[in-house]
Each structure stands twice: as structure tokens, then as C-alpha cells.
Amino acid sequence: MMKRREVNFSNTSDDGCSSITCSNPTKRSVSRKKVNSISSLNVQGTGKKVSLCQDCYRIFKKSTKKDRDMESFGR
């Protein structure tokens, strides 16, 4: 019986952070679209959601918050 398998080497592991620069345990799942707009976060995989560890999620939150913060600063 021959089984054809997609070979995934170091990417798309389910229990690690999706950031290519780290492999910490994941903390939160976020939309890939949003992550893609953050230049300081490079994620791997192809799913609609990406898993981020606490550190990366913090970066994510910071980066996505910026826009809103700028609004509140301007008063």
C-alpha cells in the first residue's frame, strides 16, 4: 500500500508559534490577514488563522493597536 504524503519539513506545526522566527507554544489564534499587514511578524503556513505565542501576540496587539491609538492621541 502506497500512501502519498505532502511533506512538511519545518513549517505548519500545530503546536508551535507560526512566526518563522520563533517556536514558542501558541497562545492565541489570529487572522492571517491582519498578521500579514504587520511587517515585524513573519508567519508561515497557509491557513486563514495563524497561531501566535504570547510574545508574538503582544507584537501583534501592539501593531494593530497603533491605528486606534493614533486616533485617541489626536484630541
DSSP assignment letter at 48: S
Q: How far is CA 30 from the centre of its chain?
A: 7
Q: Is 20 in the site for Zn ion (CB under 5 A)?
A: no
Stretch in the footprint of Zn ion (CB under 5 A) among 3-11, 28-36, 41-49, 52-60: 52-60
**Residue 51 CB: number of other CB atoms within 10 A?**
22
- The minimum distance between CB 58 and Zn ion, in angstroms, equals 9
Q: Is 26 in the site for Zn ion (CB under 5 A)?
A: no
Q: How far apart are the first and last CA of the chain?
A: 69
Stretch in the footprint of Zn ion (CB under 5 A) among 6-14, 24-32, 37-45, 59-67: 24-32
